[in-house]
Amino acid sequence: MYVRAPIDAAWTAAVQFFTDAGISINTSDKASGLLAAKDFPMSAEQVGRWADCGTLRRGGSAMKELQDWMGKGWARAQGDFGVSLRPAADSTAVRVTVGFRAETSGNPKYVPCVTSNVFEREMFEYIRAHAN
């Protein structure tokens, strides 16, 4: 995706998005245009908004159960977030990647989660709105 803004403005907006979301940046390399947050401990609310953990084999929402377990301290979730920014003529190319993992102390031990595409959309819209 592209935003019609110079790369410096897009970079500043991307860093601010991470800050506003409370996500600690592990890698910040402006020369290569890469920002990353790895192994970020996620709240139940963040998991519910940014991840899709599917349905349990026995039926029911894995997401609801995971969030309940997280509230009781029986589960934890982590996210990896990456942003690549590249100059493209009078715009900046923006690529956002995410990955999620959830572990429980019960059964199932691991809950497979994928992106709901909300984080990516929120970051892109934030960059577009603030990189002026």
Q: How many angstroms from the chain centroid is the CA of residue 79? A: 6
The residues pairing with 34 across neighbouring beta strands, listed in sequence order, are 29, 84
Range of the domain at 36: 2-130
Q: Is 105 buried (19+), middle (13-18) or exposed (0-12) by CB count in 10 A?
A: exposed
Number of domains in the chain: 1
Are 30 and 118 contacting, i.e. CB atoms less than 8 angstroms apart? Answer: no
Count how many residues are written for the chain. 132
CATH number for position 8 = 3.30.530
Spell out the per-residue pLDDT of the chain, length 132, in tens.
999 999 999 999 999 999 999 999 999 999 999 999 999 999 888 988 998 887 666 666 777 778 888 888 888 889 999 999 999 988 999 999 999 988 887 766 777 788 999 999 999 999 999 997
